[in-house]
Amino acid sequence: MDVDHVLLVGFGGPTHPDEIQPFLEQVTRGHRLPAARLEDVAHHYHRVGGRSRYNEYTLALAQQLAQCLQQAEIHRPVFVGLRNWHPFLEDTLRHIHAQGLRRGLGVILAPHRCDSSYERYLRDVDQARQRAGAQAITYRYLASWHDHPLFIRAQADAVADTLDRVPARAQAHLLFTAHAIPTDMAGAAVYVEQVADSSQAVARRLGWSSWSVAYQSRSGDPRQPWLEPEVSAAIQTLAQRQCPQVVIVPIGFFCDNVEVVYDLDVEAQAAAAAAGVGYSRAPTVAGQAAFTQMFAQMIGETLSGVLRRCSRRVS
């Protein structure tokens, strides 16, 4: 069975201050969260400009990927469907169905796998198919890319550029961060191992021995155990060890969403200043040519494998 389109599946974010509240209501639908918590998150968005660039980065990736595929003579349209904001998965799938496309290759835009970063997206696609009346569309999904050489290269290049501008470069500690999740969810997934694998691969490519992993952006019941160390606590520990400079590497995020721009560039940077540690933050991989090339390469390899299997069945 050949593939006739590509679907990028992501989280989504508000693009204007007026969209922040409805976006947060969409994200938390079905969950009971204190009003004060929602106000805090809304404040984060307002503090960093009243919007998220997640949608902008994702739509740009789709355009770049489509061009890259065309150059490789892979003529497949690329669509974007988001879980929590426009273009919603349901609307995108309705559009795909109306074009007569039926066999898609899904790309989950989260590098590390757990229920909330992978399986939930699969469920959301299936539910959106039902709501859109697009049950005829079937999807296979791109394999994990957390350790793909081009992902590692893209992130390592971004870190190298940052290190070149850091005082006391040789003494800098790379602190890789990923989104915190509950420990019981982590225990049922490969999330922690994949975050560690990505981080180690970037550090190895850079020849860097001083590095560690921390987690950020925890939310939910404070009584429930979540992955640790939290990024601010990790910075305090580094300060106690007389580390003069920390370079944050948001390895768990493909683009600069609010959890990168606020939780790291505001909160973690303030924690570093309070601890007397120099702070720098490496860019995420969105927009880097190697990152887009990675998806084009993986899609090409997947399509080649599909065509080979079809050919064997026919013969």
Q: What is the CATH number of the domain that holds 61?
A: 3.40.50.1400
Pairing of strands 245-249, 211-216: unpaired
| Residue 244 and residue 266 in one domain | yes
Residue 40 lies in a domain: no
Residue 11 lies in a domain: yes
The structure's pTM equals: 0.94
| Residue 226 and residue 209 in one domain | yes
Confidence band of 35 (pLDDT split at 50, 70, 90): confident
First to last CA, the chain: 14
Condensed to tens digits (0 to 9), the pLDDT of residues 115-161 reads 999 999 999 999 999 999 999 999 999 999 999 999 999 999 999 99
Condensed to tens digits (0 to 9), the pLDDT of residues 268-310 reads 999 999 999 999 999 999 999 999 999 999 999 999 865 444 3
Q: Is residue 23 scored above 50 in pLDDT?
A: yes
| Residue 197 and residue 265 in one domain | yes
Rounded to 5°, angle at Cα 43 from 40 and 47: 140
pLDDT at position 29 is 86
Residue 38 lies in a domain: no
| Residue 181 and residue 93 in one domain | no
Residue 177 lies in a domain: yes
| Residue 80 and residue 11 in one domain | yes
Q: What is the mean pLDDT of residues 37-58?
A: 94
| Residue 114 and residue 166 in one domain | no
| Residue 111 and residue 197 in one domain | no
Domain count, the chain: 2
Strand partners, 178: 215
| Residue 132 and residue 157 in one domain | no
| Residue 198 and residue 255 in one domain | yes
Percent of the chain with pLDDT over 70: 95
Q: Could you give the CA distance from residue 275 to residue 201 in angstroms, rounded to a whole number?
A: 28
Q: What is the mean pLDDT of residues 26-32?
A: 82
Q: What are phi and psi of 140, to 5 degrees?
A: -110, 160
Range of the structural domain that residue 249 is part of: 149-281
| Residue 292 and residue 276 in one domain | no
| Residue 300 and residue 265 in one domain | no
Residue 223 lies in a domain: yes
| Residue 209 and residue 271 in one domain | yes
Residue 69 lies in a domain: yes
